[in-house]
Amino acid sequence: MSEKKGRKSPCRRAMVEFSNFLDAACLTENEMMGATFTWYNGQKGVMRILSVLDKSLINDSWNDKFRNWKVKVFPQTKSDHYLLFGECNEIAKPCNIPFHYLQSWSKVDKFREMVKNCWKQPLSTTPLFNIMMKLRRLKVEIKIWKKKALDNAIHNKKELEGEILQLHIGQEDDETDDTLYTQMVLKTKELEQIEDKEEEDWHQRLREKWLLAGDRNTAYFHQTTHMKLANTCILEIIDQFGAMISNQDYIKDYIVNYYADKFVQHEVVKVLPVNNKMGNAPSICSCRWTLPNIGEVKQCCDGPALGNPGPSGIGVVYRDCEGRVLGTLSKAVGSTTNYLAEAQAIVDGVEKAIHRGWTTLWIVSDLSATIKAFISS
């Protein structure tokens, strides 16, 4: 979408410089609701200019602290600039989130043992239903285990970070102490294992490639995922009467009621006097589409007319001995009869085939009179 309407196009050099500045400052443009443009020069006709001069820019720290930050553009009043109003919209976490398995769980201690113990517990049901019930039970157990494992991982990560900091401070006081260095290396490896699992989880959730090979981009995965979640939230809708709904409970009820009314079975208000006489059932005949011989080209022609005479068109399809389409031809031929349209389809099709070097043709048409006339020259 262009960020300017009216008069001259924006300067491309300035746009590139501004984009480079955003990249260098690690800033991201925040999605805005409401009006598309944020500035209007107040002129009329060809002198009118609309542009996006005012933007909302955020960094990773802001996005991490205010997850659902949104900016709404309000109509202009006394100023030629529109009012930008930002707020944090908190949306309750839904209770019906789909269950997804993360690959990093298999690397956690006692996870496989927990799965085996849960699967071995007997169930007195039919075999097919037994598998479904076991999977449902296992999903509940994994959710409970995941919450405990996640809390432990966060606690262990904070402890390791504190221990590494203390070891680093101690090493600054005595740089010759190899014991502190060895302990810091071991603690750093433990911390890297926890961070590697976090990266794998976020990488699987985000389904994107790394921006810089070899760098740790867990923060990038966090910020990008949070921005995607914020952009997909429905914060406001307009009902059929033009009223704005911003309350989340009202939005949920409105959407549910809308689709319930849309797909409900309506009662018959008035019966129209239509004859319900059933027609004859269609008879299905066997047919076979024969391929041409090697070296031949099959030319399937058709020339329908809407009326006799009436607006007409022709169509031709060329196929080889393996059924592959070699080419097509279609065009309008004006007002004519079915016979003349079919004849022109054959003639134009043959001319195009000869032009392409296809001299051995098998011509197919559904109008017997045209075929007889073509054979008898």
Answer whether residue 191 shows pLDDT above 60: yes
The answer to the question of residue 287 being in a domain is: no
Say if CB 86 and CB 56 are below 8 A apart.
Answer: yes
Q: Tell me whether residue 17 is in a domain.
A: yes
d(CA 291, CA 32): 59
Token pair listed for 104: 């990093």
Do 109 and 19 fall into the same domain? no
Structure tokens at 2: 């262009």
The CATH number of residue 351's host domain is 3.30.420.10
- Quote the pLDDT of residue 318: 93
Q: Residue 183 — pLDDT band, cuts 50, 70, 90?
A: confident
The neighbouring-strand residues paired with 334 are 312
Q: Looking at the predicted structure, is the pLDDT value of residue 90 above 70?
A: no
pLDDT number for residue 317: 93
Average pLDDT of the chain to the nearest whole number = 76
In degrees rounded to 5, what are phi and psi of residue 205?
A: -70, -40
Verdict on whether the full-model pTM lies above 0.75: no
Tokens of residue 40, six digits: 């209007």
Whether 200 is in a domain gets the answer yes
Residues 6+ apart with CB under 8 A from 18: none
Instruction: Answer yes or no: do 111 and 177 share one domain.
Output: yes
The residue ranking higher by pLDDT, 214 or 88, is 88
- Which structure tokens are listed for 93? 């976490």
Residue 26 has pLDDT above 90, yes or no: no
Instruction: Summarize pLDDT for 196-250 with one digit per residue, the tens.
Output: 777 776 666 555 444 443 344 555 555 666 666 666 777 778 887 877 787 888 8
Q: How confident is the model at residue 31 (pLDDT cuts 50, 70, 90)?
A: confident
* In a shared domain, residues 131 and 19: no
250: tokens are: 């009202």
Same domain, yes or no, for 60 and 112? Answer: no
| Shared domain check, 8 and 79 | yes
Quote the pLDDT of residue 139.
83
Residue 275 domain flag: no
Q: Which residues contact 123 (CB under 8 A, 6 or more apart)?
A: 130, 133, 134
Residue 207's beta-bridge partner residues? none
Cα 250 to Cα 142, 233, 234, 258: the distances in Å are: 34, 15, 12, 12
Residue 234: alpha-carbon gap to chain centroid: 17
Q: Mind listing the pLDDT tens digit for each residue in 306-340?
A: 877 788 899 999 998 888 899 999 988 888 888 88
Whole-number pLDDT of residue 91: 60
User: Do 204 and 311 belong to one domain?
Assistant: no
Final residue in a domain of this structure, among 88, 120, 148 = 88
- Of 193, 215, 231, the one marking the end of a domain is 231
Q: Determine the Cα–Cα distance for residues 289 and 225; give it in Å rounded to an integer.
A: 53
Judge if 68 and 145 occupy the same domain: no
CB 44 within 8 A of CB 88: no
Q: Supply φ then ψ for residue 286, to 5 degrees.
A: -75, 140
Q: Which of 88, 122, 140 is the C-terminal boundary of a domain? A: 88
CB-neighbour burial class of residue 240 (10 A; exposed 0-12, middle 13-18, buried 19+): exposed
**Is 167 found in the same domain as 64?**
no
Burial class (CB in 10 A: 0-12, 13-18, 19+), 60: middle
Checking DSSP bridges between strand 57-58 and strand 28-29, what pairing results, if any? antiparallel
pLDDT score, position 297: 92
| Dist CA 337 CA 360 (whole Å) | 29
Domain of 147 in residue numbering reads as 103-231
Establish if 365 belongs to a structural domain: yes
SS3 of 209, please? coil
274 lies in some domain:
no
Tokens of 317: 């399809």
Starting at the earlier edge strand, list the strands of the sheet with 39-40: 4-5, 50-51, 39-40
Instruction: Note whether 221 and 125 are same-domain residues.
Output: yes
Over the stretch 268-316, which tens digit does the pLDDT of each residue have? 666 666 666 666 666 666 666 688 888 899 999 888 888 777 888 999 9
How many distinct structural domains can be found in the chain?
3
In a domain, 263, yes or no: no
Q: Are residues 56 and 15 in the same domain?
A: yes
Q: DSSP strand E in 263-324: where? A: 297-302, 310-319
Same domain, 224 and 107: yes
CA distance 2 to 50: 10
What is the model's pLDDT at position 81? Answer: 81
Q: Tell me, yes or no, whether 81 and 132 share the same domain.
A: no
Range picked from 53-62, 94-103, 177-186 for highest mean pLDDT? 53-62
d(CA 278, CA 281): 9
C-alpha distance across the termini of the chain, in Å: 60
